[in-house]
Amino acid sequence: MHGGSLRSEFGETSEALFLTQGYVYDSAEAAEARFKGEEPGYIYSRFSNPTVAMFERRMAELEGAEAARATATGMAAVTASLMGQLKAGDHVVAAKALFGSCRYVIEELLPRFGVQSTLVDGTQLEAWRAAVRPETKVFFLESPTNPTLEVLDIAAIAAIARDAGAKLVVDNVFATPMLQSPLQLGADCVVYSATKHIDGQGRCLGGVILASDKFIADHIHTLLRQTGPSISPFNAWVMLKGLETLPLRVRQQTENARLIADALASHPAVARVLYPFRDDHPQVAVARRQMRGGGTLVTFEVAGGKAAAFRVANALRIIKISNNLGDAKSLVTHPSTTTHQRFEEHQRLGMGITQGMLRVSAGIEDAEDLIEDLISALDGV
Ligand SMILES: *Cc1c(COP(=O)(O)O)cnc(C)c1O
Q: How confident is the model at residue 381 (pLDDT cuts 50, 70, 90)?
A: confident
**pLDDT score for 204:** 98
Alpha carbon of 287 to ligand 1 centroid (Å): 21
Q: pLDDT (tens digit, 9 = 90+) per residue, 112-164?
A: 999 999 999 999 999 999 999 999 999 999 999 999 999 999 999 999 999 99
Residue 241 scores a pLDDT above 90:
yes
Q: Name residues contacting ligand 1 (CB within 6 A).
A: 73-75, 78, 99, 101-102, 142, 146, 171, 173, 193, 195-196, 205, 207
DSSP track, 32-94:
HHHHTTSS----BTTT--HHHHHHHHHHHHHHT-SEEEEESSHHHHHHHHHHTT--TT-EEEE
175-214 pLDDT, tens per residue? 999 999 999 999 999 999 999 999 999 999 999 999 999 9
Q: Are 15 and 237 in contact (CB under 8 A)?
A: yes
pLDDT tens-digit series, residues 300-339:
999 999 999 999 999 999 999 999 999 999 999 999 999 9
Q: Average pLDDT for residues 209-231, to the nearest whole number? A: 98
173 Cα nearest atom in ligand 1: 13
The pLDDT of residue 350: 86
Residues 231 and 249 in one domain: no
φ/ψ (deg, to 5) at 130: -70, -25
Please state, rounded to an integer, the average pLDDT across all residues of the chain: 97
Name the DSSP class of 22.
Answer: B
pLDDT for residue 210: 98
Pocket test for ligand 1, best of 104, 195, 297 (most atoms within 8 A of CB): 195
In this structure, are 222 and 258 located in the same domain?
A: no
Tell me how far the alpha carbon of residue 37 lies from the centroid of ligand 1, in angstroms.
Answer: 35
Looking at the fold, whether 195 and 256 belong to one and the same domain comes out as no
Same domain, 124 and 162: yes
Convert the pLDDT of each residue in 43-86 to its tens digit.
999 999 999 999 999 999 999 999 999 999 999 999 999 999 99
Domain edge (last residue) among 191, 206, 241: 241
pTM, to two decimals: 0.97
94 lies in some domain: yes
Concatenating the DSSP letter of every residue in 260-284 gives HHHHHHT-TTEEEEE-TTSTTSTTH
Asked if 98 and 52 sit in the same domain, the reply is: yes
Asked if residue 158 and residue 280 are part of one domain, the reply reads no
- How remote is the CA of residue 75 from the centroid of ligand 1, in Å? 6
- Over residues 238-263, the mean pLDDT reads 98
Q: Domain residues for 167?
A: 28-241
Q: Are residues 369 and 222 part of one domain?
A: no
